[in-house]
Amino acid sequence: MGITKRKFGETKNGECVSAYLLKNANGMEAEMLDFGAILRVLKVPDKNGAFLDVVHGFDSVKGYEDHNDTYYGATIGRCGNRIAGAQFVLDGKTYPLDANDGKNNLHGGFAGYEHRMFTVREMQDNDTPSVCFSLHSPDMDQGFPGNLDFCITYQLTADNTLQLSYAAMSDQKTIINPTNHSYFNLNGHQSGTILDQEVMICADAFTWADAESIPTGELVSVEGTPMDFRSFHTIGERIDQEDTALKYGNGYDHNYCVNDTGKMKKIAALRSARSGILMEVESDLPGMQLYTGNFIKGNQTGKGGVCYPRRSGVCFETQYYPDAIHHPEFKQPVYAANETMRSTTRYHFSILS
């Protein structure tokens, strides 16, 4: 129980990377890196009392550096998801960004937070161990205005919840929309696809997007579509149906308009009959991207020498809606100078009854 620190490796630039292991009284473990504030390991008990590592990752810093298109476990910033045309206008000024996803900007650009060295600002080694990773992002970093001080705190609670708390402040008006990009597989990261695992999402609608995954502004009801997860469905049940939204996303890669926005609430769940594990997701943000690993290439050697196949992990990326800056009807990820952005995401684990 508590916190253990160890050397994990070095970046290609010679920076020393450390791993921080949180462990609670139940034996649940979460390991994070100060490189990318990455969630590398998450061990939770299954129905037989064994502990399964349920997130994708790599055994070396080089693995994360070489495979920068997967974002395994990464903290994403300054703005998660896509910004159309790789630019935006704020108070009449146009800010160009990296076009790293076709002609659009994805997850902040080429120099995203996932490849930055974070500083450990604070650790709490007690019954609820936690570690806070901080990062200074200078004015015009990635093309975004304002000197930004950002931190993410990972906390492991006694009831087997991993809580992620984000806080950020800029000295100029700017966009702030961080998220976490962990790929979950409740049968263990090494167990193959997640197609037999079941998802539930508390959302009556999703943002319709074009073939480049850019929202059109239309909110579409999930009723009568394969996008409807208001009750549990296996991921593989409808993922390959003849459906325009699924065709555009190559499977599920869509932002859900979660119900009851503006407060902390349960927004989704994932469960596996094989392992008996239930994961419930809570957030205070208006959206969540469900992504089923459709673009995992199947040639990446992950932890323990495992080759992760396509659709071997599922992401629950809590967020403001994609491209919200171009849709004033969406809740905006825009914060005034010296205004603090805060958000919280929780992943709670239990055994199915």
Residue 198: left (phi > 0), alpha (psi -120 to 50), or beta? beta
The pTM for the full model equals 0.97
187 neighbors 274 (Cβ within 8 angstroms): yes
Contacts of 163 (CB under 8 A, 6+ apart): 153, 154, 155, 156, 157, 344, 345, 346, 347
| Distance between CA atoms of residues 98 and 82, nearest Å | 11
Q: Look at residue 311 in the predicted model and tell me its pLDDT.
A: 97
Query: 332 burial class (0-12, 13-18, 19+ CB within 10 angstroms)?
Result: middle
- Determine the pLDDT at residue 353: 87
Q: Enter the DSSP assignment of 111.
A: T
In tens, the pLDDT along 292-332 reads: 999 998 878 899 999 999 999 999 999 999 999 999 999 99
State the catalytic residue, choosing from 56, 67, 181, 189. 181
**Burial of 12 from C-beta contacts in 10 A (0-12 / 13-18 / 19+):** exposed
Q: Does residue 317 carry a catalytic annotation?
A: yes
pLDDT at 260: 76
Q: Which two tokens stand for residue 268?
A: 């989704």
What does the pLDDT read at residue 265?
95
**pLDDT for 262:** 74
The domains found in the chain, sorted by start residue, are: 2-351 (2.70.98.10)
Cα separation of 122 and 124, whole Å? 7
pLDDT for the residue 194: 98
CB distance 144 to 175 below 8 Å: yes
Residue 218 annotated in active site:
no
Cα angle value 156/111/108 (rounded, 5°):
70
Cis-peptide into 78, omega within 30 deg: yes
* Full DSSP string of 116-169: SBPEEEEEE-SSS-EEEEEEEE-TTGGG--S-EEEEEEEEE-TTSEEEEEEEEE
265-271 and 253-258 strand pairing: unpaired
3-class secondary structure, 192: coil
CA 183, CA 45: separation in Å to the nearest integer?
18
CB atoms within 10 A of CB 62: 13
Distance CA 78, CA 238 (A): 33
**Looking at residue 1, what is its pLDDT?**
77
Q: Judge whether 45 and 60 are in contact, CB under 8 Å.
A: no
The Cα 178–Cα 333 span in angstroms is 10
Residue 350 burial by Cβ neighbours in a 10 Å radius (0-12, 13-18, 19+): middle
Alpha-carbon distance of 306 to 189, in angstroms, equals 8
CA distance 148 to 202: 32
- The Cα–Cα gap between 30 and 48 comes to 20
Residues of the chain falling short of pLDDT 70? 261
Beta pairing partners, 281: 268, 347
